[in-house]
Amino acid sequence: MSGNPNIDTVRALAEQYSNWGRWGSEDGMGTLNLVKPEHIQQAATLVNSGKSISMALPFDEDGPQTGGLGRFNPIHLMIRDGADAIAGTSIRDFYGGVDKHFRGTDDIIIMPLQSGTQWDALGHVVFGDIIWNGYSADQVSSKGAMKGAITEAKDSMVGRGVLLDLPRAMGVDWLEPGFSIGAAELDRAASFGNVEVGEADFVFVRTGAIARARAQGGWGDYAGGDAPGLGLASTEWVGERDIAAIATDTWGLEVRPNETPDVAQPMHIIFIVHMGLWLGEIFDFEALADDCAEDGTYEFMFVGPPLPFTRAVGSPLNPMAIK
């Protein structure tokens, strides 16, 4: 990668690490094909202390979204509530014939599927006219994804998880916006955590972006602004390891501003469109990172399937680290 990176760099890396056709012409699972029963068996052996730690940010109106790309924070509304029961009206008017004693409460959510802690499905990114595995982009129409849907991961996302805590490895509170993560930083964090990253692993890269937002008392431009993240120099490290998925605590996984002036989101193009790699975003690693720092163990069993929304290109989830 001598010279300034540009779209030709992206095309070259994409071709070099492409997995198109590797799992057949009809594939929609991409790198989740790499997870075999032995990986799940092995992951279960990592459960020692019996702790379960969520990596989900709460889903609510205080989330990081500010409207960019049409994304807003989840809107939660009650359909039926308990205050009605106290007040008495709704019993009389709506549930009168049913019961004087029992009442249920119910609610509704309106949310972009990629507004909080989330998996990107393989149909989430279009490069030119194509998506993962070379499918035409019109497979993702106004009716949803016929190819590359989130439901492909319905029975998956179980395996060995590894936390790469970059700020702790580098002795800082968080990585600054614009910091590009490459192989050197990933190796340093793996070494710090005394783990090796290999086939079918679920890799969690902490940049400290959520810690920073909390320290600063607000999200600011966390969603869509400059951010630390994976850069072009991470491609080989990621591509050669045959990992199952990778997630960060940032809005968009890769470093912003992008390193290629003539094409946006190059890592999404390389990772999703060509590798078929599953990307996670807005994972909250803070509780897990504190725990790993305390017990010195940076590997664990990971269980984090998406919700199977039919024809969707993303999904919120509650990712669980079990130690």
Q: CB of 35: closest distance to its own copies in angstroms?
A: 8
For residue 193, give Cα distances in angstroms to 56, 87, 300: 22, 56, 12
Q: Report in angstroms how near the CB of residue 312 gets to its own copies at its nearest.
A: 5
**In the complex with its own copies, which residue's Cβ is closer, 3 or 93?**
93
State in angstroms the smallest separation of the CB of 191 from its own copies.
27
C-beta of 158 vs 164, nearer to its own copies = 158
Q: In residues, how long is the chain?
A: 323
Residue with tokens 């990712």: 319
**Other residues' Cβ atoms within 10 Å of the Cβ of residue 319:** 26
Rounded to the nearest whole angstrom, what is the least distance from the CB of residue 211 to its own copies in the complex? Answer: 19
Of 158 and 190, the one with the shorter C-beta distance to its own copies is: 158
Taking the least distance from each CB to its own copies, the nearer of 182 and 308 is 308
Cis status, amide bond into 257, omega within 30 of 0: yes
- Closest CB to its own copies among residues 69, 172: 69
CB 299 within 8 A of CB 162: yes
The amino acid sitting at 273 is V
The count of other CB atoms within 10 Å of the CB of residue 261 is: 11
Q: Which is nearer to its own copies, 84 or 201 (CB)?
A: 84
Largest interatomic CA distance in the chain:
77
CB of 95 to its own copies, least distance (A): 9
Residue 78 CA to residue 76 CA, distance in Å, equals 7
Strands (E), 223-285: 229-230, 245-248, 278-281
Rounded to 5°, the CA angle 160-227-322 comes to 20
The two tokens of residue 231 are: 């850069």
Which CB, 181 or 303, lies closer to its own copies? 303
| Alpha carbon distance 57, 73 (integer Å) | 12
CB of 169 to its own copies, least distance (A): 25
> What is the residue whose two structure tokens read 């919700």?
307
CB of 199 vs its own copies, minimal distance in Å:
14
CA pair distance 247, 200, nearest whole angstrom: 14
Residue 303 pairs in a beta bridge with 158, 320
CB contact at 8 A, 284 and 55: yes
Minimum CB separation from its own copies for residue 267, in Å?
10
User: In whole angstroms, how close is the CB of 171 to its own copies at the nearest point?
Assistant: 29
Which tokens is 281 given?
A: 């975003």
Nearer to its own copies, 26 or 93 (CB): 93
* Between 61 and 240, CB nearer to its own copies: 61
Tokens of 249: 């605590």
